[in-house]
Amino acid sequence: QSALTQPASVSGSPGQSITISCTGTSSDVGSYNLVSWYQHHPGKAPKLMIYEGSKRPSGVSNRFSGSKSGNTASLTISGLQAEDEADYYCCSYAGSNTLVFGGGAKLTVL
């Protein structure tokens, strides 16, 4: 179970849109529509932003959206705001009741 691959860092200016990729394999991301995305501010508990690849939990801004193509899932944040600055992690079901996280992407709002 190797970690999913995410860019180490992404950045954007307020109001812009950014996309964070999450590349796995045909054994995890490619095989299941069970990718979730978490926002993590240091010192706080991670917050669920997207589940089942593209669904938003109640209370999560519609500026956050998810998608998947093949073995790569993506998180797009539109209309960037200062409070979006955080670490973002993807997580995929990998079969046999196991999960695997991505390495995390640090989002900087310029």
- 110 contributes a contact to another protein by CB under 8 A: no
DSSP labels, 6-35 = --SEEEE-TT--EEEEEE--TTTTTT-S-E
109 binds another protein (CB under 8 A): no
72-77 and 47-50: which strand pairing? unpaired
**Is residue 108 near another protein by the rule CB under 8 A?**
no
- Smallest distance from another protein to CB 95, Å: 10
Name the residue among 106, 108, 102, 109 with its Cα closest to residue 6: 102
Whole-number minimum distance, CB 46 to another protein, in Å?
Answer: 6
Residue 2 or residue 16: which is nearer to another protein going by CB?
2
Candidates 19-27, 64-72, 76-84, 95-103: pick the segment binding another protein (CB under 8 A).
Answer: 95-103
CB 88: neighbour CB atoms within 10 A?
26
Angle among Cα 30, 9, 6 to the nearest 5 degrees reads 15
By CB under 8 A, name the binding residues for another protein: 1, 3, 34, 36, 38, 40, 45-46, 48, 51-52, 57, 87, 89, 91, 93, 96-104
